[in-house]
């Protein structure tokens, strides 16, 4: 076909399509939105097919949502479904196969089976988006989406030369979590950005502004800070961050820690410190002169912070409330009230454990009971933690898996974490030298998150995305699970003996 013929055909298709789209835009409505969405999906299909794996990695930790879809899902959830579908199709057609990681596949399938069986016995998924009467489908959607996302990440290998760059973007995309809080600070002129990101954390930010003596916290800064810190660790490592002739790296680390303090969450600040310490040990710096240097630097930094803690913003003071420092009494009272609230919640939740030990409670909720519990809590007829207790927000890692999915679910999840630590360690220990730093960061991050899930704070329906995303990235980077090379022994065949015959 000549160039002129292709040009004529393009004009014949493009001009009527442009006129139709112009009419749809001029007359907005549901039918117009559906038609426009269909056309845009068709136009974007070649790009999505080509770059679906990279888009999933880029969107996994981001805060972007698809506001025009029912339930306003996170963009990573939709990308996981698309990427998994393409990967499964390639596997069936024989183009590409899923990467093998049997140590992870077994506990994953076991845990998935427990979740599906529990949902079957406890009233189904409960998705109102598709006309159901119950609540709880959102939790199931994100948990099952995390499983799909893991297999989508392991559907193809990331080339070793691109591995460091893709891992950095995997972590760096988390800074988009700061957009809701920053948008609120910028004012109404920027509120249109809430079409792209959820405004949940900004709601609590607005409430604190209207309340007298309200504690203003930039809650989503916590995820942004941990993501930026992991990006720095994967890019430069601790040794590279503290290079004396590149002081801007240390300044960026200080800004990151400050952003984490502005979130007001003690657990997230402690998590950042723990990730740094564990990576310090994994990199082997504790055997070098860096150990006394870091101890001295820590004393120099912590001293002024402790002395002038009461001069800091209230959110930063709240992060330091677990330390014996002089802070605002109202802030310390707020932090203590949070601890007391959680202890009361746990005391009320533990008696529920035997009831759901063999068949978990699941996530499905009755809408009438949900409404009555909410109204009773607001009217003060029941303790304030009853609403969180009924919704399954236990603020405790063990309870968040033990009550919804019982003992079998807990065993499967612990099995998955132990297997994950083993796989990440093998990839860190025996992986490609070009991926040494990113494998170190993935291992340190996963190990810290696993410990914190049970010791400090955990929520299975939220953190399963973090765990499976980290495991999927490691498997994709290292083409599965790296093994220790066993030296091959070469057997030398002995020459046949020659019979000596008399001459």
Q: Please check the confidence at residue 13 and state whether its pLDDT lies above 70.
A: no
Higher pLDDT, 287 or 421: 421
Per-residue pLDDT tens over the stretch 336-380: 888 888 999 999 899 989 999 988 888 877 666 666 777 776 776
Cα four-point dihedral sign 452, 454, 457, 461:
positive
Per-residue pLDDT band at 37 (split at 50, 70, 90):
low
Per-residue pLDDT band at 103 (split at 50, 70, 90):
very high
Identify the DSSP state of 486: P
The vertex-205 CA angle with 202 and 207, nearest 5°, equals 115
- For residue 498, what pLDDT is reported? 46
**Residue 30: Cβ within 10 Å count:** 7
> Is the model's pTM score more than 0.75?
yes
List of long-range contacts for 351-355, beta carbons under 8 Å, 24+ apart? 352/403, 353/399, 353/402, 353/403
Segments making up each domain of the chain, as ranges: 75-477
Cβ burial of 260 (10 Å; 0-12, 13-18, 19+) is buried
- For residue 367, what pLDDT is reported? 66
User: What number is the average pLDDT over the span 33-53?
Assistant: 75
Per-residue pLDDT tens over the stretch 178-196: 999 899 888 888 888 888 8
- For residue 494, what pLDDT is reported? 53
- For residue 5, what pLDDT is reported? 66
**Residue 74: Cβ within 10 Å count:** 22
Cβ burial of 490 (10 Å; 0-12, 13-18, 19+) is exposed
């Amino acid at each position: 076909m000549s160039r002129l013929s292709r040009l004529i055909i393009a004009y014949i298709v493009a001009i009527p399509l442009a006129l139709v789209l112009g009419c749809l835009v001029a007359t907005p409505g549901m039918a117009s939105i559906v038609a426009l969405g269909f056309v845009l999906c068709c136009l974007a299909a070649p790009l999505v097919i080509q770059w679906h794996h990279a888009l999933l990695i880029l969107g996994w930790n981001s805060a972007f949502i698809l506001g025009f879809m029912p339930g306003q899902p996170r963009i990573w959830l939709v990308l996981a479904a698309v990427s998994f579908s393409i990967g499964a199709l390639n596997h069936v057609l024989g183009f590409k196969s899923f990467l093998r990681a049997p140590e992870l596949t077994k506990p994953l399938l076991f845990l998935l089976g427990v979740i599906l069986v529990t949902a079957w016995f406890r009233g189904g998924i409960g998705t109102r988006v598709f006309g159901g009467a119950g609540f709880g489908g959102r939790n199931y959607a994100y948990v099952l989406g995390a499983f799909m996302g893991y297999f989508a990440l392991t559907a193809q290998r990331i080339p070793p030369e691109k591995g460091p760059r893709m891992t950095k973007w995997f972590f760096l995309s988390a800074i988009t979590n700061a957009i809701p809080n920053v948008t609120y600070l910028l004012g109404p002129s920027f509120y249109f950005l809430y079409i792209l990101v959820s405004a949940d954390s900004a709601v609590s930010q607005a409430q604190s502004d209207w309340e007298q003596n309200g504690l203003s916290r930039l809650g989503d800064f916590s995820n942004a800070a941990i993501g930026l810190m992991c990006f720095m660790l994967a890019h430069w490592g601790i040794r590279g961050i503290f290079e004396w002739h590149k002081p801007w790296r240390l300044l960026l680390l200080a800004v990151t820690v400050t952003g984490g303090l502005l979130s007001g969450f003690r657990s997230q600040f402690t998590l950042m410190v723990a990730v740094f310490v564990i990576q310090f040990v994994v990199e082997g710096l504790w055997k070098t002169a860096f150990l006394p240097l870091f101890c001295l630097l820590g004393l120099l930094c912590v001293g002024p912070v402790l002395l002038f803690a009461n001069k800091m913003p209230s959110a930063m003071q709240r992060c330091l409330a677990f330390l014996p420092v002089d802070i605002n009494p109202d802030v310390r009272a707020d932090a203590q009230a949070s601890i007391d609230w959680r202890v009361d919640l746990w005391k009320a939740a533990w008696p529920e454990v035997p009831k759901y030990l063999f068949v978990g409670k699941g996530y499905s909720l009755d809408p009438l009971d949900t409404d009555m519990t909410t109204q009773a809590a607001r009217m003060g007829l029941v303790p304030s933690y009853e609403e969180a207790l009924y919704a399954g927000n236990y603020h405790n890692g063990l309870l968040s898996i033990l009550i919804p999915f019982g003992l079998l679910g807990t065993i499967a999840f612990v099995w998955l974490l132990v297997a994950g630590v083993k796989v990440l360690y093998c990839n860190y220990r025996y992986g490609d030298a070009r991926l040494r730093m990113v494998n170190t960061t993935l291992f340190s991050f996963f190990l810290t998150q696993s410990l914190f899930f049970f010791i400090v704070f955990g929520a299975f329906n939220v953190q399963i995305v973090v765990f499976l995303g980290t495991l999927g990235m490691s498997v994709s980077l290292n083409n599965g699970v790296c093994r220790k090379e066993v030296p091959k022994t070469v057997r030398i065949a002995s020459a046949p003996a020659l019979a000596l015959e008399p001459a």
